[in-house]
Structure 1
Amino acid sequence: MQIPSSNTLIVTGSGVAGSVASLFTLSLLDSRGSGKNRPLCITFGAPLIGDKKLQQAISHSSTWNSCFINVVSHKDPLPSLFITNQTSSYMPFGTFLLISDAGSTSSENPDLILELLVAIGSTQDVQTQGFQSVEYGKIVESLYRKVIHTELSARDENISLSDSLLASIKLQLLALELTPLIQNNSILTRMKKLEDKFITLRKTSFDPSKKLNGLKKDMAQLEWYKKETKNEGVGYYDSFRNMCSQWDLDVIGFRKNLTRYWKKMVEEADMKPQKDGAQFRTRWLYAGTNYRRMVEPSIIAQYYRNKGQDYVNNKRSAHLKKLQGWFDEANRGTIESFDNTSKHNVESILTLDSCFWAHVEEALIACKELKELETEEANNKLVEFEKYVYESLKNYEVSAEIFLPKSS
């Protein structure tokens, strides 16, 4: 079925059909992206369909997460059918509207929702009572007709307002007719911790734009370091490898800040749904590539200073491999390269292959091996290195710094 992307689509279903509706909506979001006319999925009494990883992937895209509204009655055993405790492999996502005859409550906190679903499930005996049919149509009508007012007061239920968060949780339990749990301090404490954690995560959510602006000064410091070491005739790779000045020590701090940021950035991109993740990667590709080319040589220098070998296979960080992969993917099949360097601007570029110095170090190791004991393996390494350097020079892919007097 062809659905025009310009139309707003509402997908709905009750019970197991609600789970199917959620899966269909995920498929639509993946194929259409999270543009202006994204679908809205409303389920009624649907069983949970995904694990923690699916929940995290959807929650990492606030746009996707907002596309799911799940309505659950406290009389409906189906949503709690596959979860028996808080360590369930199933996790909710989206917004949940939990309803009873006494009232209703809503939440986007997946851990708290799971706790409430477990609590609701504990009040039901499916084996004795069977699956009771819940008329969600009447529930929706009732919600529609209700005037916003508060029937429960903290004073009437002896709820102290000294802790507003705890009071809120107690009111949620009252709204779901789970009054006995209000006296259970262990459950209340656990729910409060879950809500505290959720609120803290919201407040400290990763904002790549804001954080990157703060880290520009670290990149500027590395640019300055690169310029100064070039003036010294040594180049920033060899300067950091030799570790002879305070400048070199300062680089460690700048590098640490930048690496922490980009590790988090890569993690965020990986957690996003496929299409959103691709857009995210494209947006930050240029900055990520500059970071990789500026910072990775210092990581390589430290590794070989400590007598390491075969950096690319033994030591290279996963986030650097990811950034490299995104760059290669962006350039695959394009006529004009992302870099488009030429002999006119080679003076100002960073060496395009951020692992260039690892290849240099491996060639130096091979030279030593060849002097001590001539082996075919060492000879082949040097032949391959010669070809690699020649191609890099021919394509203007290396910085002029490699020709400095004190360069390796």
Structure 2
Amino acid sequence: MASLKVGENREINTDLIQKAYSLAVKAHNKSSQKSYILEKTGGSSYVIFSFPGYWSENDWYDGEPFGETKINLDLFPSLRSIGIDEHAKVNKVFLQRFVDKISRNQDFRKEAKNEKKQIVFTGHSTGGSVSTLATIWFLEKYWRSDASATSPLCLTFGCPLTGNHIFSHALRREQWAPYFIHFVMRYDIVPRILLAPISSIKHEFQPILQFLNPKSTRASTNTPPEASNFYTNVMKNASSMASHAACSLMGNTNLLLETMTNFTTLSPYKPFGTFVFCTGNRKLVILSNPDAILQLLSYSFQLDNEAECLDVAQRSLQQHFSYGNELKDCFNKLDALLLESLEKLPLSADSTTASSDITTINAALKDLGLSIRARLCLCAAGELEKRKIGNKNSIDLKKADIAMKYLEDYKLSCGRQGLGCYDAFKIQKSTEDFEANVKRLELAGIWDEIIEMLKRYDLPDAFEGEKKWIDLGTKYRRLVEPLDIANFYRHLKNDVTGPYTEKGRPNRYKCTQRWLEHAQRMPAGSCGESCFWADVEELRIKNSSKEGFAPFKDKVLQLEEQAKKWINDKVLDKDVLMENSTFMVWWKKQPETHKLASCIKDIEGFKITSV
């Protein structure tokens, strides 16, 4: 029983791969009313859901130029960048098909939920895109909440790209990317189609799709006359996309590149998961770096010379249904190369080194037709990943600086003096207060640097999901943000910018709050305890106006309920209840009828004269 190694400690049974492809193609031939096929085999450790493809232009693009839309976060809450709070984008038609045909299908939901064996989702062509979304949906809906469950697996064959860079980033952050394995023939055009805007292929697209449709009466041996133009247009757009991405990988800051981008429509789609490239010579090349995969999708698809155009255009269509034979031949010999440490790839096919590993790599890259420029781009992708890891290691070394020991001691010192940390810092009477402010500014610089790296995607995708950084960010936010708020209102910045929570709150706190809310699957904004003092200050200002208490009663009640909950949950300190705290001084001025019924009185340790 042979296995294909697709990553460190990750192998897939080759019989399962062949079975999945067989069912993926079989799904095409089922009734159009059938949304999927479920295959259960006695004695096996898995079940397979396979999804059919679709073959009209409207099944690919809904709107120009690329037909993408923001992901539905109700269905896919993880598909976003947490820190900068940006939603992933996905092909609109693929998403809608999944929603209409699969996620609302009660039979599918029941079978997926109740299955105890490993679930394999598979699809060929656009069926692969549906299987991708089904896998993510299953991970979100069921697998995440059941630590004992077997992880699902998604196997696609000739599948078009489905989402953008945030889609890819989110799957790597959640550590779900290894569950997606995409098989791609060297010249198969379908995985590259969405790198081209619909306007560039509109004339040829429907005839090509009709040719690719397994149910078509058109003889598969008669390549449509539109093939050459279609291939050329897709290839040129893929090349433009890869060239622009390569410039970014290499840190090119040329203003001409930025100017060209304004006039060139570039595809938003980006690979994710692991790609297994079939070279056509019974060899497999495997890699998981999404930047490198994008380069390989382009460079392996290009012509060596113009005379090849018609032949390659024909192969780009024929190979879309050649996976069965190709994989069978590959698995008989199982000559597979896992490309890792991309920054060390040989740049020349004529390398004189005696290393057998280099010889093997050179042979595989040659089979994919990779030029020196293509190899440079793969190396650049590897260097970028290496640089991200280096950035992560650098900030890991700063954890001692971020440990906040001084501010923790400062907080205890304030408590011993009968004054909460917030109020002591706001008054700024002692040397300790001044030194605490210096430390606050030092920490702000460190965290702002981290947030800027996140915005530029200069850290590994998994960073935002690391528990140690989520915990450290939460500790920092709860300890230091009250000091920022005290400084904000001490200097009356609210008179200039407006309320702290609306205009004055730094991204370092918004970001770390979202980390915690995402990790604990809590609603957005529910971990706002570090903004408590800002809410108090704003209510003090409003409450002191001529309007009095009545117009703000609901907000006062809400603040009190939150304070009670946060104190009981031990995420807000009881120093807010000290007699001379800003909160208690304000609270004691409220109407007696309100105070008598207030939930604040129910907090353990509450005393109206406490110190």
TM-score by length of structure 2 reads: 0.49
Question: Which moves more between the two structures, 80-89 or 300-309?
Answer: 80-89
Deviation at 1:47, TM superposition (A): 1.4
- Residue 78 (str. 1) matches residue 190 (str. 2): yes
Q: In structure 2, what is the equivalent of residue 376 of structure 1?
A: 546
Deviation at 1:109, TM superposition (A): 0.8
Contact conserved, 2:488 with 2:500, CA < 8 A, in 1?
Answer: yes
Q: In structure 2, what is the equivalent of residue 355 of structure 1?
A: 531
Deviation at 1:327, TM superposition (A): 6.7
Alignment deviations for residues 121-148 of structure 1 (CA, whole Å, 9 cap, x no partner): 3338579537214421222222222265
Q: In structure 1, what is the equivalent of residue 381 of structure 2?
A: 194
From 153, 169, 174, the equivalent of 1:56 is: 169
Q: Which blocks of at least 5 consecutive residues in structure 2 are unaligned? A: 1-107, 196-237, 243-265, 338-345, 568-573, 586-611
- Residue 298 (str. 1) matches residue 478 (str. 2): no
Q: Distance in 2 between matches of 1:7 and 1:300?
A: 52
Q: In structure 2, what is the equivalent of residue 6 of structure 1?
A: 116
Q: Distance in 2 between matches of 1:143 and 1:364?
A: 73
Q: Distance in 1 between matches of 2:427 and 2:489?
A: 11
Q: In structure 2, what is the equivalent of residue 116 of structure 1?
A: 296
- Residue 131 (str. 1) matches residue 323 (str. 2): no
Contact conserved, 1:72 with 1:98, CA < 8 A, in 2?
Answer: yes
User: In structure 1, the residue corresponding to 2:184 is in which secondary structure?
Assistant: strand
Alignment deviations for residues 277-297 of structure 1 (CA, whole Å, 9 cap, x no partner): 9xx799998876654432221
> What is the aligned-residue RMSD (CA, Å)?
5.1
Q: In structure 2, what is the equivalent of residue 231 of structure 1?
A: 416
Distance change (3 Å), C-alpha of 1:202 and 1:61: farther
The number of aligned residues is 367
Q: Which structure 2 residues correspond to residues 99-114 of structure 1 after superposition, within 5 A?
A: 99-102=278-281, 103-114=283-294
Q: In structure 2, what is the equivalent of residue 144 of structure 1?
A: 331
Deviation at 1:117, TM superposition (A): 0.7
Q: Distance in 1 between matches of 2:347 and 2:412?
A: 69
Contact conserved, 1:71 with 1:98, CA < 8 A, in 2?
Answer: yes
User: In structure 1, the residue corresponding to 2:403 is in which secondary structure?
Assistant: helix
User: In structure 2, the residue corresponding to 1:297 is in which secondary structure?
Assistant: helix
Q: In structure 2, what is the equivalent of residue 347 of structure 1?
A: none
Q: Which structure 2 residues correspond to residues 9-408 of structure 1 after superposition, within 5 A?
A: 9-34=119-144, 35=147, 36-62=149-175, 64-83=176-195, 84=238, 85-86=241-242, 87-102=266-281, 103-123=283-303, 125=309, 129=314, 131-133=317-319, 134-146=321-333, 157-159=349-351, 172-176=364-368, 178-179=369-370, 181-182=371-372, 184=373, 187-202=374-389, 214=400, 217-218=403-404, 220-243=405-428, 244-245=430-431, 246-253=434-441, 255-256=443-444, 259=447, 291-309=476-494, 310-317=499-506, 320=509, 353-362=529-538, 365=541, 376-377=546-547, 379-380=548-549, 384=553, 387=556, 391=560, 395=564, 397=567, 398-399=574-575, 402-404=578-580
Alignment deviations for residues 145-204 of structure 1 (CA, whole Å, 9 cap, x no partner): 226599xxx899412659x9999986553131x15x23x4xx443332122112333565
Q: In structure 1, what is the equivalent of residue 12 of structure 2?
A: none
Q: Distance in 2 between matches of 1:237 and 1:30?
A: 40
TM-score by length of structure 1 reads: 0.69
Q: Distance in 2 between matches of 1:59 and 1:329?
A: 15
Distance change (3 Å), C-alpha of 1:27 and 1:118: same
Deviation at 1:312, TM superposition (A): 2.4
Deviation at 1:224, TM superposition (A): 0.9
Q: Distance in 1 between matches of 2:556 and 2:301?
A: 67
Q: Distance in 2 between matches of 1:15 and 1:41?
A: 13
Q: In structure 2, what is the equivalent of residue 342 of structure 1?
A: none
Q: Which blocks of at least 5 consecutive residues in structure 1 are unaligned? A: 340-351
Contact conserved, 2:183 with 2:278, CA < 8 A, in 1?
Answer: yes
Distance change (3 Å), C-alpha of 1:385 and 1:285: farther
Deviation at 1:80, TM superposition (A): 1.7
User: In structure 2, the residue corresponding to 1:72 is in which secondary structure?
Assistant: strand
Deviation at 1:25, TM superposition (A): 1.9
Alignment deviations for residues 265-288 of structure 1 (CA, whole Å, 9 cap, x no partner): 9999xx999xxx9xx799998876
Amino acid at match of 1:93: F
Q: Distance in 1 between matches of 2:561 and 2:482?
A: 16
